[in-house]
Chain A
Amino acid sequence: MVHISDGVLPLPTLAAGWAVTAALLVLTLRKLRAEDIPKLSVMTAAFFVASLIHFPVGPTSVHLIFNGLVGVILGTLSYPAIFIGLVLQAILFGHGGITVIGVNALDMGVPALVIGVLFSRWVKNSLSVERAAALGAVLGGIAVTLAVALTAFMLYTAGKELVGVIAALVLFHIPVIVVEAAVTGVVVGFLLRVKPEVLGVKVVEVGA
């Protein structure tokens, strides 16, 4: 799971997490337009409740994250969406610590940002809906994997072993990776057919 609790990480890691998160929030929110807000709110809500969908895997329990889906749909606005979602999860669900919100936002938000930018860049080239959906699926899976790896790295700064933790976390997250890849792919395919503007794409004459 990618929500680190309070009292696990050392102070420098927490401070670095907040610093990066604050900088990225300023950068990403500067160009917020009024017409982005409904989309931002809906995706934040989806992210906020996704963590409630959990299933047991092996000796533990994992839950959905949807940082890839948020990244693909919101692009750079995925960072504030994930940050706000994490604040609400921490306050209302006790999910993840309060002092760790900066680090947790970095763990989940940076992959979302990267995936969002890559997607909007690539989707303009691959115009067929099928290929865009496949791209969305792959990126959706990668977002989870990256988030897990970043989480493991943060835990490494707390003295946990690096490679073993990454391996274990990725292994337990295979179902999450598969589910999120599928959902992201389907949503991308659906949006491209129905409302491509949401993805910032002017795809016309698809499949013609």
Chain B
Amino acid sequence: MSVRAILVLVAASLILASGVTSAHRLYIKHKIGTVEIEAFFGGGTPCRDAAVRVYDDAGNLLLEGKTDEDGKFNFTPVIGIASYKVVVEATHMPGHRAETVINLTATGAAEGGEGAAAFPLYARVIAGLGWLMGLAGAAMLYIGWRYKREFEGRAKISEGGETAQREV
């Protein structure tokens, strides 16, 4: 084979490999991913088999489903709808319900939820105990005031009685 024949062969294979018709154009395909929600009880136990309902911002029911055994549920947002209300109702523990609004146009929409509390659990426990101490103090004050009034009332009556006796 001559050198020229080899060159022709290489050129031909390169043209074939690059895709003759496309001639190096760049393409973009796109697909909107899913929104994943996760339902769990306080303490982290997943809320499985729970009924999930997704509403649009006008309150129309868009779709329904059930959480999987990890308490997760996925849905694809509808193009044109920015805000979704998600309602979860526990099946195995009836009476437990939670709802959240996912607004896709808000900053920080990528992750969030009700479970993200402002204070850690121990702080909330301490806050609760503090409230109880305050309430106990307030109740003590109230009862102290009641006793005092009762005592003063009684003292007045006995005073009155004494003066009446003296007059006699």
Contacts and interface: CB of A to CB of B under 8 A. Distances in A.
Interface residues of A, number: 44
B43 A37 contact: no
B132 interface: yes
A54 interface: yes
A41 interface: yes
A32 B139 contact: yes
A38 B139 CA distance: 10
Contact of A60 (B92, B121, B132): B92
A92 B93 contact: no
Q: For chain B, what secondary structure do more than half of its interface residues adopt (helix, strand, loop), or is it mixed?
A: mixed
Contacts of A95: 42
B135 to A, nearest CB: 7
B143 A61 contact: no
Contacts of A165: 94
Contacts of B153: none
A165 B99 CA distance: 22
B168 to A, nearest CB: 38
Nearest to B43: A54
B92 A168 contact: yes
Interface string A35-66: 00110110011001100101010111111000
Given A32-B143, A93-B124, A6 B97 contact: yes
B99 A155 contact: no
Nearest to B125: A49
A54 B42 contact: yes
7 contacts: A1-B41, A49-B125, A52-B43, A61-B93, A84-B132, A160-B94, A169-B93
The 4 closest A-B pairs by CB, nearest first: A61-B45, A60-B92, A4-B95, A5-B97
